[in-house]
Amino acid sequence: MRRNKFTATVRPAAIIVLTMFSLNGFAAPQTYEAVAKPVISTTIRFGYNDAFRGVISHVARPGTIVRGPVRNTDDSVADPGDILVQMKTRYRWNAVQEKLANLKSAQANMKSAKANYLRYKVLLRQNATTLETYQSMEANYFSSVGAVEAAENEVELARVMLDCCMFRAPFDAVVDEVYFPAGLCAGELDIVRISQLTPMGIKVKMDRATAAKITSETPIAVYPCNSDKPAGVFHGESYLLPDGIMLKVDNYPLPPAASTEKNGEKIPLCRTATAIPYHYYHSNRPDRLMVPEESLEKDGQGYFVWRGVGQRENQVQGISPVFEVEKVRLVPDDLKTEVNATAFYRILKDPGSLKEFNIVLLKPPADLKERQRVCVRPARYRFMPGDPVKVRIGE
């Protein structure tokens, strides 16, 4: 009987312990279908509201991965980041020149007013002028000092307005949509929408009671799209949603498809573009080859581009993620055009050995050498917005 009494006494306590454990966490692991959702998504509005609204000349294309700025500890810019939106600058540059001219005029007036003020100050001591005339010269001088300060502020404002012709990515992000690729603005327009890439949010749908049980001690594994290697989360940084919970995971660019090292040497990562033809419509002039301006390099012998050896775009066969490069001498013309409202291309007077749809490097490393191997920069992160993921919660 004692044994039965003891058993009867212990069992309710065990039930209470199990119940408490279930309320504070997951007694058994559960798997959820989830989706990668950016923690921050924002629409960039751009344009001016003064006499001239501006002309958009460049917007990063959809799908482009852009990097945010990097600053030194003194807040100076170490890396300004990638350009999202660019506006034509001629109007704003002319406004700066106009304000500089006004400043020079104000400085000349101040110099003259100061000379008159000092001269009449001496004359007043010699009783060679009236007090009223001296005070008038004094007022003119101090007024000219204020005019110079106002002109300096106008120059600074004009320079700020000129700088605002360019908008760079505020953080590492992917371009989701482009609403206004190019053209004359009509006030502040929705231009482009971007989503932050790191950290990435993972949205898990579940009922509120279950989501509330997740704590900083709950084991959570997030499986990226088409991967069996789990990633952890930033514990304690999750937040509840009306229909579930948002988790945060670290995010980074995927490694290239091939090794970026050879014989212990690092293979540089590069961006590429394509040499394409320019067609003269309704003209007897032959087509001309053109390359992105970012691919043009210059040394003591003239202009050149770095071409991918054995690589060609606009064909069924793909290109290698790692390939050798060679220097191709050419002669650019004075003509350029814009392609897809995203890049300026320079028309070539003499393409040299460059052929149609050859691959060229954009902003190549300064120390690049002939037949050196380069790797195409990866254009995808471990988690991308909208990726389906699996989340395992509990132990």
| Mean pLDDT, rounded, of the chain | 88
Spatial neighbors of 346 by CB under 8 A, at least 6 apart, are 290, 291, 292, 293, 296, 332, 333, 335, 336
- pLDDT over threshold 90, residue 256: no
Residue 239 identity (one-letter amino acid): Y
The Cα 306–Cα 8 span in angstroms is 83
Is residue 27 very low, low, confident or very high in pLDDT (cuts 50, 70, 90)?
low
Spatial neighbors of 213 by CB under 8 A, at least 6 apart, are 23, 24, 25, 26
- Looking at residue 319, its pLDDT comes to 87
Report, at the CATH architecture level, how domain 91-163 is classified. Orthogonal Bundle (1.10)
For CATH 1.10.287.470, list the domain ranges present in the chain.
Answer: 91-163
Is residue 185 very low, low, confident or very high in pLDDT (cuts 50, 70, 90)?
confident
Residue-wise pLDDT for 29-85, tens only, equals: 899 999 999 999 999 998 888 888 899 988 998 999 999 999 899 888 898 999 999
Helices (H), the chain: 2-24, 90-125, 131-163, 208-212
Residue-wise pLDDT for 342-384, tens only, equals: 678 999 999 999 999 999 999 898 889 999 999 887 778 999 9
- pLDDT over threshold 70, residue 15: no
351, β-bridge pairs? none
- pLDDT over threshold 60, residue 18: no
- pLDDT over threshold 50, residue 7: no
- Reported as half-sphere exposure (CB side, CA atoms, 13 A), residue 197 has a value of 24
Mean pLDDT in residue range 266-285: 86
- Looking at residue 378, its pLDDT comes to 72
Mean pLDDT in residue range 7-14: 40
